[in-house]
A and B are shown apart, each in its own frame.
Chain A
Amino acid sequence: MQAFTTLTGIAAPLPKANVDTDQIIPARFLKSISRSGFGKNLFANFRYREDGSENPDFVLNQEPYRKAEILIAFENFGCGSSREHAPWALLDFGIRCVIAPDFADIFHNNSFKNGVLPVKLPREVCEQLMEDARMGGNARLTVDLEREVVVRPNGEEIPFKIDPLRRHLLLNGLDDIGQTMQHAPAIDAFEAKRAAAQPWLAGAAGTTPAGA
């Protein structure tokens, strides 16, 4: 996973609540067994018209937002399906940070696992950042994960908070499988205790599905 330390870039305003993962990447594009190449289908139902041409009204089809690296949205961003293609599509387009008042839980988890930083800030702050974003290319935002601040174009610093474990993994570009493997003895011990108390859960031993 690509580490996330600090990012300065163009922010695209998407002033909508309940942006669901079917909007971020429609199900008909979930055909690839790799994680890359989804950027062209990001927000496909809004970015393209029925004939396949670009919809000039959609923010990511406008300059300078074609090069946006930050997205500002409203409540419940990423609701719906658990598809990890949502952060993959954002990442593949070039967006590495989403700022919103809150996020749906699964999308929030998935983002961290892929080097996309979801930043929760109060609604009124998101509205200010939305205004900054509307200023386009002259108004870059900085998102500094090390210091946990968003820096507005006017220099104002807005603090945010990220879970310490997630921050550590993201700053260093680590996934957590390696970390967890260090706890293998604890997992073994847990399994042994559990098998003694609930033998019927020790795998599927003794049970064969009828007719299979």
Chain B
Amino acid sequence: MDAPRTLFEKIWSRHRVLEREDGQTLLYVGRHLLHDGGATAFDVLRRRGLKPWAPERIFATPDHYVSTAGRRVEEIEDPRHREMVEKLARNTAEHGIRRFGLGDPNQGIVHVVGPETGLSQPGLLMVCGDSHTSTHGALGALAFGIGSTEVAHVLATQTLWQRKPRTMRITVEGRLGPQVTGKDVILAIIARIGAAGATGHAIEYAGSAIRSLSMEGRLTLCNMSIEAGGRAGMVAPDETTYAYLEGRPYSPRGADWEAAVTRWRELPSDAGAAFDTEVTLDGDAIQPMVTWGNSPEDALPIDGAIPDPETAPDAERRAQMRRMLDYMGLAPGTRLTDIAIDRAFIGSCTNSRIEDLRAAAAVAAGRKVAPGVTAWVVPGSEPVKRQAEAEGLHEVFRAAGFAWREPGCSMCLGTNGDIAAPGERVASTSNRNFVGRQGPGARTHLLSPAMAAAAAVTGRFTDVRRLLEG
């Protein structure tokens, strides 16, 4: 009998074209997603006189450089940003690659578009020139981010050389409390294992608390695997996955659907499969989380207070904490709930899906954005936007004083010009609180959509559970 294998090992071996003696493996790429930052990869092809090997396996959508104020390319003010979006259109048209461009009913953030169109499927090996490609692992795919030279390699050969990463299982057992979301689970995980805790590993998330998450929650969870250093993050496919995928535009249909599901049911890790590293967390103990520093590992439950550098274990961490508190404009001992914000941003590939917007709208309903706070909602894609509008969520947000924007990456990293001013404090549902991430001098705190909405309407970080209790 074969040795028990993990989900990761099954997908890896199904995509192995060949393996060198030194362990370097040529992997076949089932789906390759592109966004508007990939122009240099096409230039590499052009210089070498090559064409994409399998254009029908490549799908593109502009997200990093699009305006969230309008849908026409001409509305992109900076000509260099506009050029990025236009280049994607030209490169994909030239090579017959399907593109969900501006105005297309499926355009959006590439990591929102993949799952919701059904392009992301269990058992697939997927890549994209973006670190948050780990998102697609929520469907039981092996998905990871690559750089633009590797994008060129995948365009040219539909394969990629990789060395097998180690495996890590993160098990979260128990019941998540009210208002404890996929975002809080992943922030709690990163706080535990650190920003490099999973470097060199493919993560599988397991346990009853993970199984209980919706597909949106799992997408958020897997999305931030990279923030723990993970090469990939995945959740084994189950009934939640199949129910989510059935009937999506690129999902298999009819007899193909039955055959696909039969195959997908073989994917979950076998009982007794060994992982190189095991981590366990108690799901019942996880609280709504907020970050305070400049790494996603610097996260605390909402009832926490800013830590004192003097209590740090060594001089280097002490110096690092002082630098972060200085940048963030925070004093040790300050309670999170006493920190006032200037902006709230609900969006990004981490938290811009319909469930995220519903959770935020439930908080915004009947309330008003606090005076002096600028609050934005940027839906992750056109389908999310349409669905939200069909449910009237946009009216809820607008009535509360939130701006309702067009789909794109927006303020997560501000490549399109959506940034905060120096010193502004942002309650953000995105994925990185790095120095300068949302603009020079901008101070980012990561949290869930409901917690961001609670911060927007109260003007400070607030335990959304208390707010909703009234």
Contacts and interface: CB of A to CB of B under 8 A. Distances in A.
Contact of A22 (B84, B200, B432): B432
A165 B40 contact: no
A34 to B, nearest CB: 7
The 4 closest A-B pairs by CB, nearest first: A203-B56, A110-B147, A113-B149, A200-B252
Nearest to A103: B199
A138 B319 CA distance: 28
Contact of B436 (A26, A30, A211): A26
B22 A165 contact: yes
Contacts of A104: 196, 199, 229
Nearest to B228: A79
Dominant secondary structure at the A interface: loop
A125 B263 CA distance: 49
Interface size class of A (residues with CB under 8 A): 35 or more
Contacts of A27: 413-415, 437
Nearest to B133: A82
A212 B22 contact: no
B228 to A, nearest CB: 10
B195 A79 contact: yes
Interface string A5-46: 000000000011110101100111011111100000000010
B196 A82 contact: no
Interface string B50-72: 10011011000000000000000
A164 B23 CA distance: 10
Contact of A110 (B22, B105, B149, B422): B149
Given A22-B434, A27-B414, A203-B57, A177 B18 contact: no
Interface residues of B, number: 83
Interface stretch (A60-68, A89-97, A146-154, A187-195): A187-195
Given A104-B229, A165-B22, A30 B415 contact: yes
23 contacts: A16-B320, A17-B320, A20-B295, A22-B432, A22-B434, A23-B436, A28-B440, A33-B83, A76-B195, A82-B129, A82-B146, A83-B147, A105-B200, A105-B231, A110-B150, A164-B22, A180-B159, A187-B28, A187-B157, A204-B250, A205-B56, A207-B253, A209-B105
Interface string B12-26: 000001101010101
A212 B106 CA distance: 8
A55 interface: no
A18 B196 contact: yes
A131 interface: no
A28 B419 contact: yes
Contact of A74 (B28, B50, B316): B316
A105 B229 contact: yes
B392 interface: no
A210 B249 contact: yes
B310 interface: no
Interface string B38-56: 0110011000101001101
